[in-house]
Amino acid sequence: MRMISVRYSSWPAGVVNPVIVITALMALAHASGQDQRAQRNSFTADTPPAMTETECMGGQCDLNADVRGTWKFSGVMGTADWNDGAEATVVIERFDEDGIEIRRIDLPNSSSYGLTAVYKGTIHGDRVEGTVVWSWNGHWNDEHPTGHWSAEIRNSVPAPPPVRAISIPRSIVECEADQCAPGRQGGCRWTFQGREGESHCRNGAASKLEILKFDDDGIVIRRTELPSSVSVGLTALYTGTLHGKSITGIGTWSWPGHWNNHNPSGKWFATVDDTGSTALPPVPQPLVSPEVHSDGSVTFRAFRPSSLEMFVQIEGEKPVIMQKDEMGVWSLTTKPLEPDYYGYIFQDTGIPVIDASNPLLLPNLLQNETMVHVPGPPSLPWEISDIPHGVIHHYFYKSAAVGDERDFYVYTPPGYDSHAATKYPVLYLLHGYGQKSSSWLEVAYANRILDHLIDEGKAKPMIVVMPTGYGGAEILKPNAYWDDALRAGNFERFKRSLFNEVMPQVERDFSVLTDRDSTALAGLSMGAAQSAVIGLNNLDRFAWIGMFSSGGLRENFNQEFPELNSSVNARLHLLWVACGTNDGLLSINQDFNKWLTSEEIKHTYVETPGSHTWMVWRRNLDAFAPLLFR
Q: What is the pLDDT of residues 275-288, one digit of tens each?
A: 888 899 888 889 99
What is the side-by-side order of every strand in the sheet holding 329-333?
Answer: 291-292, 298-303, 329-333, 323-324
Q: Please provide residue 601's backbone torsions phi and psi, each rounded to the nearest 5 degrees.
A: -95, 125
Predicted confidence band at 31 (pLDDT cuts at 50, 70, 90)?
A: very low
Mean per-residue pLDDT for 232-259? Answer: 92
Let me know if the fold of 3-154 is the same as that of 291-374. Answer: no
pLDDT digits (tens, 9 = 90+) for 393-415: 999 999 999 999 999 999 999 99
Let me know how many helices (H) and strands (E) the chain has, helices first.
10, 35
DSSP letter assigned to residue 597: H
For 171-272, CATH number? Answer: 2.40.128.30
Measured distance CA(292)–CA(333) in Å, rounded: 9
* Across 468-488, average pLDDT: 95
Indicate the pairing of strand 265-272 with strand 171-176: antiparallel
Between CA 207 and CA 225 the distance in angstroms is 4
| pLDDT > 90 fraction of the chain, expressed in percent and rounded | 68
- pLDDT above 90 for 27: no
> What is the per-residue pLDDT for 81?
87
> Is pLDDT of 388 > 80?
yes
Answer yes or no: are the C-beta atoms of 187 and 175 closer than 8 Å.
yes
- State phi, psi for 329 to the nearest 5 degrees: -95, 125
Percent of the chain's residues with pLDDT above 70: 89
Q: Which residues, 6+ apart, have CB-to-CB distance to 244 below 8 Å? A: none
Closest by Cα among 348, 347, 337 to 372: 337
8, HSE (Cβ side, Cα atoms, 13 Å): 20
For residues 481-490, average pLDDT = 95
DSSP letter string over 222-273?
EEEE-TTSTTTT-EEEEEEEEETTEEEEEEEEE-TTSGGG---EEEEEEEE-
Report the pLDDT averaged over residues 331-342.
97
| Residue range 391-627, CATH number | 3.40.50.1820
Give the Cα separation of 430 and 528 in Å (integer). 7
Torsion angles phi and psi, residue 303, rounded to 5: -95, 100
Residue 514 is classified by DSSP as: -
Evaluate whether 367 touches 361 at the Cβ level (below 8 Å): no
Task: Give dist(CA 553, CA 283) in Å, integer.
Answer: 57
Q: Angle 614-624/446-455 helices, nearest 10 degrees?
A: 30
Which residues, listed in sequence order, are joined to residue 369 by a DSSP beta bridge? 362
Q: How far is CA 202 from the centre of its chain?
A: 28
Q: How far apart are the first and last CA of the chain?
A: 93
Q: If phi over 0 gives left and psi between -120 and 50 gives alpha, with beta otherwise, what is residue 369?
A: beta
The span from the CA of 164 to the CA of 241, in Å, is: 13
- Calpha distance 235→229 (Å, rounded): 12
pLDDT for 45 beyond 50: no
Q: For 61-120, write each residue's pLDDT tens digit.
A: 655 555 677 888 888 899 998 777 789 999 998 888 889 999 999 988 888 888 899 999
Report, as an integer, the average pLDDT of 290-316. 94
Asked whether the bond before 290 is cis by omega within 30 degrees of 0, the reply is yes
Comparing 9-13, 257-261, 349-353, 494-498, the range with the smallest average pLDDT is 9-13
Average pLDDT of the residues in 464-489: 96
| Nearest in space to 416 (alpha carbons), one of 391, 438, 433, 440 | 391
Q: Do the beta carbons of residue 119 and residue 130 sit within 8 Å?
A: yes
Name the amino acid, one letter, at 224.
T
**pLDDT for res 10:** 29
Whether the predicted model's global pTM rises above the 0.95 cut: no
Q: Give the ranges where 418-511 is alpha helix by DSSP (H).
A: 439-442, 446-455, 484-497, 503-509
pLDDT at 12: 29
Q: For residue range 124-135, what is the model confidence (pLDDT) as tens digits?
A: 888 888 999 989
CATH code of 3-154, in short, is 2.40.128.30
Mean residue pLDDT of the chain comes to 88
Q: Residues near 483 by Cβ (< 8 Å), separated by ≥ 6?
A: none
Computed on alpha carbons and rounded to an integer, the radius of gyration of the chain in Å comes to 35
CA distance to 27, 248, 525, per residue, from 178 (Å): 18, 13, 43
pLDDT of residue 30 exceeding 90: no
- Interatomic CA distance for residues 228 and 206, integer angstroms: 7
pLDDT band at 151 (very low <50, low <70, confident <90, very high): confident
Contact in structure between 231 and 241 (CB atoms under 8 Å): no
530-566, pLDDT tens digit by residue? Answer: 999 999 999 999 999 999 999 999 889 999 999 999 9
Q: What is the mean pLDDT of residues 171-177?
A: 90
Q: What CA–CA distance (Å, rounded) separates 81 from 86?
A: 6
Binned at pLDDT 50, 70 and 90, residue 13 comes out as: very low
Domain residue ranges of the chain, discontinuous segments joined by +: 3-154, 171-272, 291-374, 391-627
Q: How far apart are CA 4 and CA 81, in angstroms?
A: 11
Taking the C-alpha atoms of residue 600 and residue 587, their distance in angstroms, rounded to an integer, is: 20
CB 614 within 8 A of CB 341: yes
Interatomic CA distance for residues 616 and 630, integer angstroms: 24
pLDDT for the residue 63: 53
Report yes or no: 86 and 111 within 8 Å, Cβ to Cβ: yes
291-374 belongs to which homologous superfamily?
Immunoglobulins (2.60.40.10)
- Does residue 57 surpass a pLDDT of 80? no
Whether the CB-CB separation of 106 and 25 falls below 8 Å is answered with: yes
Going by C-alpha positions, the residue among 365, 418, 354, 427 that lies closest to residue 391 is 418
